[in-house]
Chain A
Amino acid sequence: MASIAGGMFTGNSAWALSMAFVERQTNLWKRYWGWELVWLVYGVVNTVAITLIAEQVGAGVVDADISGLVLFLLIGTLVWAYLSAVLEDISLVIEWERWEGTIEHTLMAPVPRWLHLLGMSVFGILHGLVRTALIFAIALLFFDIDFGNVNLLALVAVVLVASVSVAAVAILAGLLPLLYPERGSQMSMMVQASLLLVSGVYYEVEVLPAWLQVFSFISPATYFLDGIRAAMIDGQGLADVAGTLGILALFGVIMVPMSLWAFNWAESYAKRTGKLKRTG
């Protein structure tokens, strides 16, 4: 197998290149622990505040399934906390390095862009899982929820398969600062906000106006939430969520190559127009 200079990689060297980005992000995460604390507190407050709405709504209704409603909203807020962490981590791939001033030194290194983005995605997913698990653990202190129905295997499968397409969405959002140095990061946030609206985070997508429901069908987050709720509320097993897993896998198969191609195209555009280093 040829060396890096030969343009090919052994499995070990490719993995090591990706892990360099995971290690760097971990170091940054440790150095900016204050921000992590802020986001954790925000996540807990957001989760508890929104889930308490279920208690309030259920209190005035005879025979209301308060526990089911609490779980529905709790899952929504936790999945959103996870999606936000992953989307933010990966979509900052360009913006953070522009802010630090390191972008040129990182992008001129002999690392294929897909390995760079793989490393960023692995960190984003691990970071999102850790933060969400902490929010979940703290939120449990506020609610009495029966998790006896949860199918853990189906839950893990949905999270893993969905994370691939979520990473692809984040890469697509992350390339915007390459095209629009002054407005790209705001546009990335609009992508996140749009997902919140159309994906059924706090309500069933059926309550959306018909024209908005079209967008919910093309959001992987919709199927992510469906799968998680099926596994946690309805106790569905792997076979039952196979259809949702299939759709999520299809999203991944289509969106991962698409996002990598789009990122490479955006990088070429930035190099042609001199927008790589420019700050907004």
Chain B
Amino acid sequence: MHSIPLEVTNLSKSFGGARQFLWRREKEPVAAIRNVSFQIERGEIYGVIGANGSGKSTLVRMISTLLTPDEGQISVFGLDIRRHELEARRLINRVSPDPSFFKNMSALENLLFFARIYGMGPAEIKRKAAEILGRLDLADRIREPMLNLSRGQQQKVAVARAFLTSPVLMLLDEPTTGLDPASKLQVQQFVREVREQHDATILLTTHDMDEAERLCDRIAILVGGNVIAEGTPLELRTRVANGRPLEQVSMETVFLELTGKSIEEDEEVMAHG
């Protein structure tokens, strides 16, 4: 197997711009990702931080084969995901910001389905699901319909769903959104354990700067679909320190210095233009 888990080269994606059938009206295309390139090393947790609407989820969707890039290439362990879609999908799984389950089915029924379509057998699924949910303090809720679980508990089941299939490339798209602080720490600890014990490579998108600094080996800052900076948390902090002690330079400061606005302000700009 090729040694680079994820290689993204000159990736671009725009939405809109299609000619409308009846009215022949052109819409102005909106660029979501602009000429983005990066690669992730094996066993690394690579963070992509940015405001809501900065293009993080579009990027994850393209890597997940759910969106087709306009330009550029994505390779997963050397497999071009457009030419080897099924093979690449087998190596990937994803946690999305919304838990996304069949709400009237139980957690176990959901996990059985979502793992069976990755080729796992029911006995293996039940064993691993009990193990993962046990570590996330949810083993006793496994037979309850998803709609009886809180938002945070549903998100933990979503984390379990993703790790159940033992992906070698995990895409965590804001995995701790909606979790209470204790659950957030629990999930973050679980992510670290999985990386250490199972040779997983992880792409993590977040707008939580503390989470990015705590979990990620390297971080890319995404603004308006562009990667404006990339490096280890230490490198990024050093870059903007300007003589200040590094302890006084948080990732929040890094974002502020490099983009000229806080992440909340950037979200405002993305929302209202």
Instruction: Give A residues with C-beta under 8 Å from B.
Output: 3-7, 13, 16-17, 19-21, 23-24, 27-28, 31-32, 100-102, 104-112, 268, 271-274, 276-277
Contact = CB atoms under 8 A, between A and B. Distances in A.
A4 B90 contact: yes
A104 B118 contact: no
B247 to A, nearest CB: 41
Contacts of B113: 20, 23-24, 27
Nearest to B94: A108
Given A4-B86, A7-B84, A20-B112, 5 more contacts: A4-B118, A16-B116, A27-B105, A100-B100, A105-B94
Contacts of B61: 104
B182 interface: no
Given A4-B90, A31-B145, A102-B101, A268 B68 contact: yes
> Which secondary structure characterizes the binding site on chain A?
helix
B66 A107 contact: yes
Nearest to B88: A110
Contacts of B89: 108-110
B15 interface: yes
Interface string B58-92: 00010011111000000000000000101101111
Contacts of B119: 3-4, 13, 16-17, 110
Contacts of B94: 104-105, 108
A24 B116 CA distance: 10
Contacts of B87: 5-7, 110
Interface of B: 15, 18, 61, 64-68, 84, 86-87, 89-92, 94, 96, 98, 100-105, 109, 112-114, 116-119, 121, 145, 161
A272 B68 contact: yes
A23 B103 CA distance: 16
B105 A31 contact: yes
Q: Which of A5, A13, A23, A268 has the most chain B CB atoms closer than 10 A to its own CB?
A: A5
B67 A274 contact: yes
A112 B105 contact: no
A259 to B, nearest CB: 20
Q: Which of B87, B113, B145 has the most chain A CB atoms closer than 10 A to its own CB?
A: B113
Contacts of B18: 273
Contacts of A16: 116, 119, 121
Contacts of A274: 15, 67
A128 B89 CA distance: 33
14 contacts: A5-B91, A7-B86, A16-B121, A20-B117, A23-B112, A27-B105, A100-B103, A101-B98, A102-B100, A105-B94, A109-B114, A110-B119, A271-B68, A277-B66
Query: Which 4 A-B residue pairs are closest in the complex by CB-CB distance?
Result: A20-B116, A31-B104, A5-B90, A109-B117
Given A31-B145, A110-B86, A276-B66, A105 B118 contact: no
A162 B104 CA distance: 33
Contacts of A5: 87, 90-91
Given A6-B87, A110-B89, A110-B90, A105 B104 contact: no
